[in-house]
Copies of this chain bind each other. A is one copy, B any other.
Amino acid sequence: MELARYLKDRQQLIDAALDRYLPAADTLPVRLHQAMRYSMFAGGKRLRPILALAACDAVGGDLKTVMPVACALEMIHTYSLIHDDLPAMDDDDFRRGRETCHKVYGEALAILAGDALLTEAFILLGGMAADKPEIAKSSCRALHIIARCAGSRGMVGGQVVDMDSEGKEIDLPTLEYIHTHKTGALILASVQAGCLIGGGGEVAFEALTRYAGAAGLAFQVADDILDVVGDQALLGKDVGSDEARGKATYPALLGLSEARGRAVELRDVALASLSGFGPDADPLRQIAHYIVDRSF
């Protein structure tokens, strides 16, 4: 399996599904739906839906069944980026080289486009749970996990602590709180939901939970390292932007070499948690490698 090819194929599948699931650009109110689509199709890597699909693969599930869940996760991720970029939050004018939603559509519409994308995710998940009685139980459980991971004790909570920590000296436990919540929670939800909808049992669920916890944190450590040493194309934002903003990072707290060691350690925990799986889990394995290796 060649990972680059795999990721690209999956991105295309996911983009096509997102296009089907999102309200058409000419649906009223038109500008709202345009704003939602503008941010949804702004060149995201689709990491969360790819992880949901890969977790579904790992337990031998059906890709078509998990696709709405995968797309809902990407909608939630995109809403969080739109709101993070707002003037009252990070005040970013650009993301991945394109103007941010509020720069193009104005602040009010960007707030509402974010709100609508978050809600759209639950329309998709709720529709799936309501219309497919054969997977209603796992759908409800997946929906519940996704909501918890996205909420005040998950992603939104991480964003609040991150915001409160800007320009302050923070310790490693606070940094880990931020990352396990702000980005880790939704990555965890992606893998867990993919496993559930794919029909994975409790043993697989526990193993994939360990995988996602380690891989999610590794992703963030690697992202911090890339912010110091990386190339802008890989990172999707300006190199050095965390430091400029006074954000705590792993390299700043641990030093570059120890941060790299931590990333490798987390990658290996992620790989070890997959020991009970066969080749169906190879995409998850390669993604764990990719996450960490790009920061070297």
Contacts and interface: CB of A to CB of B under 8 A. Distances in A.
Interface of A: 23, 27-29, 31-33, 36, 79, 83, 86, 88-89, 106-109, 111-112, 114-116, 118-120, 122-123, 126-127, 129-130, 133, 136-137, 139-141, 143-144, 146-148, 150-153, 156-157, 159-161, 163-164, 177
A28 B161 CA distance: 9
B153 A126 contact: no
Nearest to A80: B115
A161 to B, nearest CB: 5
B119 A163 contact: no
A190 to B, nearest CB: 16
A119 B83 contact: no
A265 to B, nearest CB: 26
A140 B126 contact: yes
Nearest to A124: B147
A122 B150 CA distance: 10
B129 A143 contact: yes
Given A23-B153, A32-B152, A111 B130 contact: no
Contacts of A150: 119
Given A119-B152, A129-B140, A130-B137, 19 more contacts: A28-B153, A28-B157, A29-B152, A33-B152, A83-B115, A109-B163, A111-B111, A115-B118, A116-B152, A119-B150, A119-B151, A119-B156, A122-B143, A123-B148, A126-B146, A129-B143, A130-B140, A136-B137, A143-B143
A126 B89 CA distance: 29
A23 to B, nearest CB: 6
Nearest to A115: B156
B160 A29 contact: yes
Which of A109, A116, A139, A146 lies at the interface centre, i.e. has the most chain B CB atoms within 10 A of its CB? A116
